[in-house]
Amino acid sequence: MLYLTDDLGLLPFFLPLGVIGFYRYLWYFIRVIAWLTYKPRRPKANPTYRSEEDVTIIVPTIDAGEEFKIAARSWLACKPKEIVIITETQMRGPLQELANEVDPSRIRVLTVPKANKRLQMVAGVNATSTEILVFADDDAIWKPTMLDYILACFEDLKMGGVGTSQTVHAVDPNGHQTIWEILAGFRLTSRNIEIAASTHIDGGICCLSGRTAAYRTLILKDPAFQHCFTNDLWLGKYPLNSGDDKFLTRWMCSHGWNTYAQVCKEAELFSTFKNNWRFVKQVLRWTRNTWRSDFRSLFTERYIWRRHPYVAFTMVDKIFNPLTLLAGPILVGVFSSLQEQRAGPSNPPLPAWNIAVSYICWLLVTRFVKLIPHFLRRPLDIWVLPFWLIFNYYFAIMKIYALFTLHVTAWGTRTFTNGEGLGAPMEEEKNISSSDNTTMYNEQQQVKIEMSDMSQTRTIHDPFADDSDTEQQKRYKQLQHHPNNPYR
């Protein structure tokens, strides 16, 4: 190809793009090597934390169904101290019935006035009395070893948050996955490789997925965190409800806490995805959240550059990825159209179909190589590979569209009575009555702490330690006086 482009006088045009291609495959090679050498943390014979004493599972939800019972039974198999379900007031009855069918003695249902995931999460945090809490989606299915492997990471006193690997659980009771679910599985395969590699290289992670993530309770009980978390605005005026997991991950990084991804069979999470075209709406919402969070990490907060440089460069790479991906077929088209006009005696023109087929085969082979871990588990999914290629280019266009619609903060796949899930701009919140605004403002002021106060030294009282529990007090004092404590 270089010989042909040289004859056509296009070498100066194509060579820089060849360098970009070399860089991207080198970057991928480094990622694969890191993934292959990554090792998860194993539980100790005598662990510091025990799930039946130290773990509360918090599940914010508004529309849990039968899949909740399957998920809840898998959580109980891990022996947590308690499961707390947070929902809106009008859904308390149906969720209480589901909880009663599973285990009413270990599942507690609490409510908030309106459906808002972040407010629900904060309510769950404030209801927690254990040292470790785990956020979980209402359809997240665990293996019985999940909590043991999560808690193994918290043996490190600097550890603030822990995530897990993921795979797709079919919506169909017979286990049949639609093309949309298989595409989701392809995405998860790539993500599992990415987070294992970044964890191994510099200890960072782009996002502790909200499907299941564990945190130290004392971090999230801080009023400064809760205020910032529930008053998170994009461009100072668009309230953010989704993107909670991105916020939590950035908070760990900016406040000196470590994170870890447990990528192993023992800590593998099974989760359902939309099994129809609505999956595309999910992806659009995630893409907007990624743009917003990555911009903040790279250009506003900037802690990521110092603490996790590999993750930072990965974020930069993702910014340019749609452009480099779309440039490929455009340049192939340019070459195909110009070759006949500029063909020389040493390079007769190639048929257009020859160029197109060669390029598509190359793209399919490279996608297949990147998805080998998935095909080793589910070889019959290979028929979706051509659709995965099409989805890649659609996703590149979607990323550009998402970049120019970051002001849209709606869920996209849910519809709430207040219009929050309809995709309308959040300026509609202006319709709230002035009395409601006053009430909301007063509630916010109760927890408002300026970020400048974070650097001031203050004594922390453990809100969840039993005075008689000397072991918990000992661990808490270790955390309080640890040099990594952001309040010191």
Distances in whole angstroms, Cα of residue 481 to Cα of each of 157, 158, 459, 474: 11, 11, 10, 11
Q: Determine the pLDDT at residue 350.
A: 77
What is the model's pLDDT at position 487? 44
Of the candidates 258, 261, 254, the residue with the CA atom closest to the CA atom of residue 297: 254
CB distance 213 to 219 below 8 Å: no
The CA distance from 63 to 177, in Å, is 22
Greatest distance between any 2 Cα atoms in the chain: 91
- Strand 82-88 to strand 212-216: parallel, antiparallel, or no bridges (unpaired)? unpaired
Structure tokens at 310: 């590999």
The candidate with the shortest Cα–Cα distance to 83, out of 131, 127, 145, 149, is: 127
Strands (E) located in 95-131: 107-112
pLDDT at 377: 95
Backbone angles phi and psi of 233, in degrees to 5: -120, 140
- The pLDDT profile of the chain, 488 residues, written as one tens digit per residue, is 444 455 555 666 667 667 777 888 888 999 999 999 999 999 999 999 999 999 999 999 988 778 899 999 999 999 999 999 999 999 999 999 999 999 999 999 999 999 999 999 999 999 999 999 999 999 999 999 999 999 999 999 999 999 999 999 999 989 999 999 999 999 999 999 999 999 999 999 999 999 999 999 999 999 999 999 999 999 999 999 889 999 999 999 999 999 999 999 999 999 999 999 999 999 999 999 999 999 999 999 999 999 999 999 999 999 999 998 998 888 888 877 777 776 666 667 778 888 889 999 999 999 999 999 999 999 999 999 999 999 999 999 999 999 999 999 887 555 444 444 433 443 333 333 334 434 433 443 333 333 333 334 333 343 334 444 445 555 555 555 555 554 44
Fill in the amino acid letter for 118. R
Confidence at residue 324, expressed as pLDDT on a 0 to 100 scale: 87
Distance CA 488, CA 474 (A): 18
Is residue 258 helix, strand or coil?
A: strand
Say how far apart CA 210 and CA 326 lie, in whole Å. Answer: 30
Which helix (H) or strand (E) element contains residue 186?
helix 179-202
